[in-house]
Amino acid sequence: MLRRMLISAGLLAALAPLAHATDLWQVWQLAKANDPAFKQAAANRNASMEAKPQAWAQLMPSIDLNASRTWDNNASDRLNFFGSQVVPVNSSSNTTENQWGAQLTQTLFNWQRITALQGADYSVAQAQATYEATTQNLIVSVAQAYFNVLNARDVLDADTANQQALSKQYEQSQQQYKVGLAAITGVKQSEAAYEQARAQVIADRQSLAQAEEALRAITGRYIKDLEAPKSKLPLNPPDPHSAKAWVKRGLDQNPNLMAAQMSQKAAQNQVTQQEGGYMPSVNLVLQHTHQATGGNSSYYVPGGGSTRSPADSHSTDNQIGLQLSWNIFNGGATRSSVKQSQYQADAAMAQEISQRRSVEQNVRNAYLAVLSGIAQVQATRQSVASSKVSLQATQAGLKVGTQTVLDVLTSRKDLLSAQKSYYNARYGYLVSVLQLEQAAGTLSPDDIKRLNAWLVPRSAAPSATAMPAASAAAPMSAPAPLTAD
């Protein structure tokens, strides 16, 4: 009962949202502790690391101990012939035999076992590289899920503010229609825009719930309050400022490429191991055996009485020798195994070439994505500011009769689109910074710390969600440009 209560409490704690603002570094720590895929990768890495001690064990001495105890009870009747006389003889024996021994076997030469030791090094290196790749994938996945939640919340806030502004505009259109200052067309246009905004808010809430669920799947927790990027993001180009330099770094350090290289070497080593089937193997064998027998035997001859004698004996045997084993012919199995391993090595070589080209492509694309992200943040930031000014001018024109309700709705829609593009650009840029490091193979938890320094509590983060009111008694001043660099 107590165990069930503890398990239930643990589940409730895992499902309960964190009460305080959580930053990216804290989310990363939760992901490391709770992500099943990461735990699986760590376990697979640890299991693969055992290949090296197992390969060494094949070259180390092997000691076998054996012992036995045997009980023997024997009785027999026979006829002995003494000239013309036939004499029956009865005999019996009861003996106990104890035997124990030890054998040491040391490999002196076995090409397959010798080369397997080098192959184990390649397997261990491949497992470590695969684990590093998984770690980097988790870093990017955590950041992507984290910023997806923030993006979904920003979009929801923007659409909610838009809905509120459209609600006020719809009410004003109705009032103006009642007093004859507006046509029914403007009322219907405002109503349609408001209903669309309501539907969009509902869809945004679902998108936010899905983003939060994706983050929970990685961290094991529902996290409601996340820190957001601060107003001034360092929009710096990649350093070094050369795609070629980043490609070289990727070819030297990308863990997926390193894993493919180690896989190719391990496959080629397997060819060498299979070729060892053509060679003899030599072992040194040391053996010690001790045997002790105890008991008695008796003979009975009618008329001659019985004779009883002990049956005790002790013996010790020490042997040292060399064992040579050489399979001359096994039906062509060795030749087939060598060919099979060579084909597998060819496939591994092709995989390495493919992975190398993929690294080059991914690094160049990620490098361009960072540059493009910087430009998009700057452009969408200016677009938000311009759209706000445009909406204010359109609202002022509606007030004096030079603009229509449809014009205002269009301007408001343009502003909303610019805001969402700005959010996507900011969060996309942050992720692209990590993706470039990942493509080059240099991504580490330190990069999480670097991005974490750019975050602040969401209440202090910049907001582009404030929508101008449906109308204003006086012209609104142009907002200050949003700063992203």
Lowest mean pLDDT among 136-150, 165-179, 459-473: 459-473
Local confidence band at 5 (pLDDT 50, 70, 90 cut-offs): very low
The total of other beta-carbon atoms located within 10 Å of residue 388's CB is 22
Check if the beta carbon of residue 278 is closer than 8 Å to that of residue 271.
Answer: no
Residue 450, CB half-sphere, CA atoms under 13 Å: how many?
A: 12
Average pLDDT over residues 380-388: 93
**What gap in Å lies between CA 232 and CA 454, rounded to an integer?**
8
**What gap in Å lies between CA 154 and CA 463, rounded to an integer?**
8
Q: Which amino acid is at 389?
A: V
The tokens of 452 are what?
Answer: 């974490």
- Per the model's pLDDT, the better-predicted residue between 121 and 302 turns out to be 121
Q: Could you tell me the pTM of the whole model?
A: 0.81
Residue % of the chain over a pLDDT of 70: 84
- Give me the count of residues in the chain: 485
Q: Which residues pair with 95 in a beta bridge?
A: 72, 295
The per-residue pLDDT for range 403-443, each reduced to its tens digit, is 888 888 888 899 999 999 999 999 999 999 999 999 999 99
* Predicted local confidence at residue 300, as pLDDT: 60
Backbone angles phi and psi of 229, in degrees to 5 = -60, 140
Q: Which of 131, 111, 133, 136 is nearest to 49 (CA)?
A: 131
Question: Is it the case that residue 471 has pLDDT exceeding 50?
Answer: no
**What gap in Å lies between CA 143 and CA 431, rounded to an integer?**
7
Check if the beta carbon of residue 412 is closer than 8 Å to that of residue 158.
Answer: no
The per-residue pLDDT for range 277-301, each reduced to its tens digit, is 999 999 999 999 999 887 777 666 5
* Predicted local confidence at residue 333, as pLDDT: 92
Cα-Cα-Cα-Cα dihedral sign, residues 207, 212, 216, 221: negative
Burial of 330 (C-beta count, 10 Å sphere; 0-12/13-18/19+):
exposed
**What gap in Å lies between CA 286 and CA 319, rounded to an integer?**
6
CA-to-CA separations, 409 to 179, 412, 414, 420, in angstroms, rounded: 22, 5, 9, 17
Backbone angles phi and psi of 430, in degrees to 5 = -60, -45
Q: Which of 181, 186, 190 is nearest to 162 (CA)?
A: 190
Q: Which domains are assigned to the chain?
A: 16-59+111-280+333-460 (1.20.1600.10), 63-109+283-325 (no CATH)
* Predicted local confidence at residue 173, as pLDDT: 81
- Secondary structure element (H or E) that encloses residue 265, with its range: helix 255-275
Check if the beta carbon of residue 394 is closer than 8 Å to that of residue 178.
Answer: no
Place of tokens 């003996």: 95
DSSP summary character for residue 103? E
Q: Which residues pair with 291 in a beta bridge?
A: 99, 315
Question: Is it the case that residue 238 has pLDDT exceeding 70?
Answer: yes
The per-residue pLDDT for range 78-96, each reduced to its tens digit, is 656 555 666 566 777 788 8
Check if the beta carbon of residue 385 is closer than 8 Å to that of residue 481.
Answer: yes
Q: Distance between alpha carbon 130 and the CA centroid of its chain, in Å?
A: 9
CA-to-CA separations, 199 to 53, 152, 160, 212, in angstroms, rounded: 62, 15, 10, 20
Local confidence band at 303 (pLDDT 50, 70, 90 cut-offs): low
The per-residue pLDDT for range 318-365, each reduced to its tens digit, is 999 999 999 988 889 999 999 999 999 999 999 999 999 999 999 999
First to last CA, the chain: 58
